[in-house]
Structure 1
Amino acid sequence: MKQYWNEVQPIDAFTVAMNGILHQYDNKIITLLYQPLIGPICLTLYNTLLYMVEEGKSLSEEWNHYHLMNAFDLNLEEIYHARLKLEGIGLLKTFIQTNNESRSFIYELQPPLSAEQFFTDGMLNIYLYQKLGQTHFIKLKKSFTNKKLDLNEFSEVTRSFQDVFTSLGVNTLTQSEGHIASIPEHGEEYNHRQKPNSITIDGNDFDFDLLLVGLSEFMIPRKLFTPAIKDAIAKLAFLYSINAVDMKKIVLQSLTPDQKINVDDLRKNARDWYQMENESRLPQLVDRIQPVIHRENDTKIETKEDKLVSYLETVSPRQLLIDLSDGGEPAKSDLQAVEDIMFQQKLHPGVTNVLIHYVMLKTDMKLSKNYLEKIASHWSRKKIKTVKSAMDLAKSEHRQYQEWAITKKDSTQRRNKPIRTEKLPDWFVSQEDSNQKEVQLQTEDLEEKRRRLEAIQRKYQKNGGEKGGEN
């Protein structure tokens, strides 16, 4: 993964292009529907790029990124991340040209989905519903709807063109010249309203082959899996984290009596499955694993720490808890605690993984919510974004975190019970502090959980090099 400064520099030039005409109504859609999902910085970046293009034009003058930094009073990293969010949600396309040592970009603004497309998208509307809540969501939906015009008791009497106008004839020469004169000059095109592109999930992460193996041709003919159906399945699999085995049941439930797969039923059944698995909660718009832009382990993986970093960057917090439980489903209270600190403290999944790894070793292999929140709040204030920086901070602040973990009960237990020692994880032991490899634990019934944690770590130290190449 390349750091942002390898992707864009302040001196790099850029030009803004318009992919179609945007209307005032589009601004309402972006502000009220898109902004809750992407945030105000992204909205400001979109509008700023928009206003750089003169009204009636489709291309702006050339600027450099220093201008954006000064206009926003933000650093380039924040602007870059906002740009990526606009790209991901379909509001921006980016093109680059490199000449010798200079680079120039074209930022092509895309029109938003219509309100109807957004509210029937099947993914964006679910994220928005979860973000806003039912009351606000329904009120917002009503602001984009109107009462249908009832024409049942009316008859149309509109006249056609030929009913109103009469042609006096046009000679051949004038007709030919008129057609030629109407053609845009070379390299130009008429201003137009571009059809917005829906959000698409490429489906590379979903195993369609396994799905089809579980569904015989007799059960469901392959011709029913049209591009539209496959796109819906890929989107639902991403939205609700559904694997191929569970998706097979959902597809079968969505089969109509006339042997067709109904997309609406597919969505409803997928949502019902998710809520049954997750106590009626709906999914939120979060990165399931560490975002690529915040991964650092892109070099050759050589050390044990490199391998562990690669593992923590490419696994979700939920999967980490499963691995630490030897394949068992995490407790709902643990998942809720992790979810709360991720959203309240805005921690990335990889950083959350480091926190889980550290806290479980410090609190008898249990996730103490108060301890999690205290450290998470500290990391949030420090603006920790990467796995490596979280590890480094845990090392440097270890003594402070130990003090936070000590309670009167711990002290009493420590006086009354024999003490034994246990190694810290390899990533925690700094080079200068390599001789300090043991911390005190209090009860011997943790031995099995400790071995499980070390086994998981050894597993990914062995295979981490393979995971590190994934995006």
Structure 2
Amino acid sequence: MRHHWKELIAVDRYVVQSRGALHELDRQVLTLLYQPLIGHRALALYMTLWGDWELLGGQEATHRRLMELMQCSLPDIYGERLKLEGIGLLNTYVRAFGDDEPKLFLYELRPPMTPEQFFRDEMLSTFLQRQVGRHLFAQLSDFFARPMADVARFTPVTRSFSDVFAAVPAERMVSRFSEEQRPLNEGKAHVGREEASYALDDEVFDFELFFAGLSKQLVPRRAMTAKVKEAIKKLAFLYGIPPLEMQKLVLGVIDPSYHIDIDALRQAAREWYELEHGGVSPRLVERVQPLAYRTMENANPRTKEEQLMKQLETISPRQLLKEIAGGAEPSLADLQLIEDIMFQQQLLPGVVNVLIYYVMLRTNMKLSKKYVEKIASHWARKKVKTVKEAMELAKEEAKTYQSWANEKEKGTKTVRKVVRTEMVPDWLKMDYSEPEDDDFDVEQARKEIEERLKKYRDGS
């Protein structure tokens, strides 16, 4: 396991730089639009690094200083840093000097999206609306909007550059270039402003299958610009649109000049989702494991473990929670927790199902927020993509995860230890010397979950 202390320790040093000038509008966008998505601690880390950029001016500092400024632990700082990286607000680089020497981290702040970019981004704006509700979302949208006059009702009188400024005579230009030029300050660059963005892995959408059934005569490859491909990835990730369905949507919005209107594609994706789901807003928890990441899709399960793998690959996290609860709708708190980790850690639905299954059998059929987030963060760093990988990692790191669960219990009045060796699923066999908890029968709970999943699979 890549523990946080193998990635980062308090004596490791860091230096901050920015990819562009940060302004008051950025602070408003970060506070009102990004904070509901990443949480107040991730925002605090960004603002602290912003302050360091202005205060230190490129000087190095230790992470202990960062811990003192934020009054939080190093694992918390590390976890919040990952959120900033995932949503496109931070680039992190590291320089190692030796096994026993402190590392040097370069934290490169990236400006947030402009309000226009944010509200035009289908995924971020949709999740913001789900986080804060329609009323507050409309209030935020109105706050960042400004009245615009109808330019068509006016006559343009703006002068061009050549109308105002005279050209420099050629002979003066030649003499100036022949003079000795003063070099730019080495190691420095002029402050600029890049377009804010965040990255989704290419694996979230099967472009190979998408292009395989798409005629080059109908959709030339030149029409598939980088912006169009990025929009397709985001829309497919948000709405769960398969490659073959996306083909139809693209064919429906391409114009005679072979230009793909991204706004029209967004609208088509929304309409497709509303038609498929009866007008319900998209939720990540409704998605199932993408076909490209199913290891049991074309296999016939031969063991109970493989049967469980196939079930977890073909059910959504929301439906899994519902089946575990015996058909009762999951609580909003549980759904929100699962949706948060799917968005912030970018875990695929099947991987999240393994996480739900594992945690439920470790914590008396409850979803402990800190415990779930800690394991999810580890799986995200390990880039776990399949159900099989998640199950194998859960088995390998079982003792470590149990120690995390025990840490969580230390603050309670009665320490409940719920795991015993003979009561765990075959794929989670481990050696524990923990005392038994007679109040919760893990084996019975596992059998009940498997029975409910079997009924769900059989449609009974």
Q: Does 1:33 align with 2:33?
A: yes
Instruction: Give the Cα separation in 1 of the matches to 2:119 and 2:453.
Output: 49
Gaps of 5+ in 2: 290-302, 342-351, 376-393, 410-414
SS at match of 2:54: coil
Instruction: Give the Cα separation in 1 of the matches to 2:424 and 2:168.
Output: 94
Specify the code of the residue in structure 2 equivalent to 1:214.
G
Contact map agreement 1:347 1:385 (CA 8 A) in 2: no
Specify the code of the residue in structure 1 equivalent to 2:97.
N
| RMSD of aligned residue pairs (Cα, Å) | 4.9
Instruction: Give the Cα separation in 2 of the matches to 1:155 and 1:238.
Output: 45
Instruction: Give the Cα separation in 1 of the matches to 2:326 and 2:269.
Output: 24
Instruction: Give the Cα separation in 2 of the matches to 1:206 and 1:440.
Output: 38
Pick from 327, 330, 340 the counterpart of residue 337 of structure 1.
Answer: 330
Deviation at 1:50, TM superposition (A): 0.9
Please list the CA deviations of residues 158-200 of structure 1 after superposition, one character each: whole Å capped at 9, or x if unmatched: 556666677897957973488824x52232222x231223223
Residues 397 and 286 from structure 1, CA distance in 2 versus in 1: closer, same or farther, beyond 3 angstroms?
same
Q: Does 1:147 align with 2:147?
A: yes
Instruction: Give the Cα separation in 2 of the matches to 1:187 and 1:113.
Output: 27
The range that moved more, 215-224 or 77-86, is 215-224
Instruction: Give the Cα separation in 2 of the matches to 1:221 and 1:163.
Output: 42
Residues 180 and 390 from structure 1, CA distance in 2 versus in 1: closer, same or farther, beyond 3 angstroms?
closer
Which residue pairs with 1:122 in the alignment? Answer: 122
Deviation at 1:425, TM superposition (A): 2.7
Instruction: Give the Cα separation in 2 of the matches to 1:288 and 1:215.
Output: 25
Which residue pairs with 1:230 in the alignment? Answer: 229
Q: Does 1:110 align with 2:84?
A: no
Contact map agreement 2:11 2:62 (CA 8 A) in 1: yes
Which residue pairs with 1:301 in the alignment? Answer: none
Instruction: Give the Cα separation in 1 of the matches to 2:274 and 2:33.
Output: 24
1:24-423 matches, cutoff 5 A? 24-54=24-54, 59-100=57-98, 101-102=100-101, 103-158=103-158, 175-176=176-177, 180-181=181-182, 183-190=183-190, 192-217=191-216, 220-256=219-255, 260-284=259-283, 318-319=315-316, 334=327, 336-337=329-330, 340-343=333-336, 349=352, 350-355=354-359, 375-376=366-367, 379-380=368-369, 385-386=374-375, 388=398, 397=416
SS at match of 1:95: strand
Specify the code of the residue in structure 1 equivalent to 2:134.
Q
Specify the code of the residue in structure 1 equivalent to 2:61.
W
Count of aligned pairs between the two proteins? 392
Residues 111 and 278 from structure 1, CA distance in 2 versus in 1: closer, same or farther, beyond 3 angstroms?
same
Residues 423 and 79 from structure 1, CA distance in 2 versus in 1: closer, same or farther, beyond 3 angstroms?
closer
Using CA pairs under 8 Å that are at least 6 residues apart, name the structure with larger relative contact order, 1 or 2. Answer: 1
Residues 142 and 22 from structure 1, CA distance in 2 versus in 1: closer, same or farther, beyond 3 angstroms?
same
Residues 74 and 448 from structure 1, CA distance in 2 versus in 1: closer, same or farther, beyond 3 angstroms?
closer
Contact map agreement 1:200 1:235 (CA 8 A) in 2: no
Residues 451 and 193 from structure 1, CA distance in 2 versus in 1: closer, same or farther, beyond 3 angstroms?
closer
Instruction: Give the Cα separation in 2 of the matches to 1:3 and 1:384.
Output: 14
Instruction: Give the Cα separation in 2 of the matches to 1:381 and 1:227.
Output: 37
Residues 159 and 86 from structure 1, CA distance in 2 versus in 1: closer, same or farther, beyond 3 angstroms?
same
Instruction: Give the Cα separation in 2 of the matches to 1:9 and 1:447.
Output: 41
Contact map agreement 1:215 1:248 (CA 8 A) in 2: yes
Please list the CA deviations of residues 11-52 of structure 1 after superposition, one character each: whole Å capped at 9, or x if unmatched: 100001122211111111111111111111111111111111
The range that moved more, 157-166 or 266-275, is 157-166
Specify the code of the residue in structure 2 equivalent to 1:194.
R
Residues 141 and 423 from structure 1, CA distance in 2 versus in 1: closer, same or farther, beyond 3 angstroms?
closer
Contact map agreement 1:317 1:352 (CA 8 A) in 2: no
Which residue pairs with 1:462 in the alignment? Answer: none
SS at match of 1:180: coil
Deviation at 1:66, TM superposition (A): 0.5
What TM-score do the two structures reach when normalised by structure 1? 0.66
Identity fraction in percent:
31
Deviation at 1:236, TM superposition (A): 1.4
Deviation at 1:126, TM superposition (A): 1.6
Instruction: Give the Cα separation in 2 of the matches to 1:384 and 1:220.
Output: 42
Instruction: Give the Cα separation in 1 of the matches to 2:172 and 2:219.
Output: 61
Please list the CA deviations of residues 428-468 of structure 1 after superposition, one character each: whole Å capped at 9, or x if unmatched: 786558999x99979x9x89938959x9xxxxxxxxxxxxx
Residues 397 and 221 from structure 1, CA distance in 2 versus in 1: closer, same or farther, beyond 3 angstroms?
same
What TM-score do the two structures reach when normalised by structure 2? 0.68
Instruction: Give the Cα separation in 2 of the matches to 1:175 and 1:65.
Output: 49
SS at match of 1:280: coil
Q: Which has the larger radius of gyration?
A: 1
Residues 357 and 158 from structure 1, CA distance in 2 versus in 1: closer, same or farther, beyond 3 angstroms?
same
Residues 136 and 156 from structure 1, CA distance in 2 versus in 1: closer, same or farther, beyond 3 angstroms?
same
Which residue pairs with 2:21 in the alignment? Answer: 21
Residues 63 and 157 from structure 1, CA distance in 2 versus in 1: closer, same or farther, beyond 3 angstroms?
same
